[in-house]
């Protein structure tokens, strides 16, 4: 699930539920999700503090801890947040849980345990240390985007998904952006002209804005979206042709061979 729009939903969710509440207990039920921090350190840094505000960079969510530093959450393929009080609302694979003074809890659920939780000095320094590229939806302009992509010798889809180039785009939304921009996923990035790069940039903005409005729910996406039709043999919402499944750099994706012509 978690690409940029999903993480933005999680951010809003955390804002609406778990801010400004004193943390009573921190439960870590699986140490494998901890990144460069011990269970004890994480507990010590959170206990008695509160989360004050949030930031997002690409697929990473940060929550400012009162007193000092930030909590970092990355969701892998299957992570999500759940705020709850009663046991029956507890999700099934809770890896980390903060219990607040009023006994409400914020759970970080990670079925496949591919996500990571840690501490960061600041979202900005974290992004620099991890060599993350600029956030796809925050302060990046068409020209800067074009400069990032045109320097690459590989295919456009893996370039869009490269978090060190630009942060926030995953497999699903890379497909959607290229579909909207009518660009074949295997097009060499260096073959793209300014007009096409600008078209991809604008498609990216439009796709992420629509996804936010749809609350990242495929069923709520605009009619022209590929996202709810990620099946072989589904019909292209634009031309009615058959959607095709293709593998690009090891990941399977979907596209319309009629709308997205080979270069």
2 binds DNA (CB under 7 A): yes
List the end-to-end C-alpha distance of the chain, in Å, as a whole number.
30
User: What is the Cα–Cα distance from 152 to 161, expressed in whole angstroms?
Assistant: 13
- Are 64 and 19 a contacting pair, CB within 8 Å? no
Residue in 76, 91, 222, 257 binding DNA, rule: CB under 7 A: 76
Which of 24, 251, 257, 258 is close enough to bind DNA by CB under 7 A? 251
Which 34-53 residues touch DNA, going by CB under 7 A? none
Q: How far apart are CA 45 and CA 26, in angstroms?
A: 10
Instruction: Give the span between the Cα atoms of 82 and 70, in whole angstroms.
Output: 19
CB nearer to DNA: pick between 47 and 251: 251
Q: How far is the CB of 99 from DNA (least distance, A)?
A: 23
Choices 11-19, 94-102, 138-146, 147-155 (CB under 7 A): range interacting with DNA:
147-155
Enter the DSSP assignment of 105: E
Helix (H) or strand (E) holding 146: helix 142-150
Residue 172 interacts with DNA (CB under 7 A): yes or no = yes
Query: Any idea how long the chain is?
Result: 263
What's the CA gap between 41 and 18, in Å, rounded?
21
Dist CA 152 CA 184 (whole Å): 16
Residue 46 or 148 having the CB closest to DNA: 148
For residue 187 the two structure tokens come to 């097009």
Question: Do residues 106 and 18 touch, judged by C-beta distance below 8 A?
Answer: yes
Contact flag: residue 180 with DNA (CB under 7 A)? no
Q: How far apart are CA 122 and CA 72, in angstroms?
A: 9
Q: What are phi and psi of 101, to 5 degrees?
A: -60, -30
Binding residue for DNA (CB under 7 A) from 21, 39, 93, 229?
A: 93
To the nearest whole angstrom, how small is the minimum distance from the Cβ of residue 97 to DNA? 17
Contact region with DNA (CB under 7 A), list: 40-48, 107-115, 133-141, 199-207 = 107-115
Q: Which of 12, 130, 142, 150 binds DNA (CB under 7 A)?
A: 130
Under rule CB under 7 A, which residues in 210-239 are in contact with DNA? 216, 218, 230
202/230 with CB nearer DNA? 230
Q: Which of 49, 57, 105, 163 binds DNA (CB under 7 A)?
A: 163
**Given the rule CB under 7 A, which residues bind DNA?**
1-3, 6, 32, 58-59, 74, 76-77, 93, 111-114, 130, 151-155, 158-159, 161, 163, 170-172, 216, 218, 230, 248-252
């Amino acid at each position: 699930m978690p690409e940029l729009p999903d993480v933005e939903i999680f951010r809003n969710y955390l804002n609406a539920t778990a801010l400004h509440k004193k943390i009573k207990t921190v439960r870590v039920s699986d140490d494998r999700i901890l990144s460069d921090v011990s269970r004890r350190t994480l507990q010590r840094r959170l206990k008695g503090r509160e989360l004050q505000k949030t930031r997002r960079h690409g697929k990473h969510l940060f929550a400012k801890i009162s007193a000092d530093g930030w909590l970092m959450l990355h969701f892998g393929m299957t992570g999500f947040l759940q705020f709850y009080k009663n046991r029956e609302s507890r999700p099934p694979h809770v890896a980390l849980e903060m219990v607040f003074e009023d006994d409400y809890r914020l759970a970080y659920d990670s079925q496949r345990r591919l996500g990571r939780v840690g501490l960061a000095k600041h979202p900005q320094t974290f992004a620099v240390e991890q060599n993350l590229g600029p956030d796809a939806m925050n302060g990046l302009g068409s020209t800067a985007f074009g400069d990032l992509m045109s320097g690459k010798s590989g295919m456009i889809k893996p370039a869009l998904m490269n978090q060190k180039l630009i942060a926030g785009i995953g497999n699903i939304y890379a497909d959607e952006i290229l579909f909207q921009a009518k660009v074949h996923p295997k097009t060499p990035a260096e073959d793209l002209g300014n007009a096409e790069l600008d078209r991809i940039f604008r498609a990216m903005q439009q796709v992420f804005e629509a996804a936010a409005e749809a609350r990242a729910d495929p069923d709520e996406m605009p009619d022209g979206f590929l996202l709810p039709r990620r099946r072989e043999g589904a019909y292209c919402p634009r031309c009615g042709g058959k959607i095709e499944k293709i593998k690009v750099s090891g990941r399977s994706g979907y596209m319309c061979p009629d709308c997205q012509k080979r270069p």
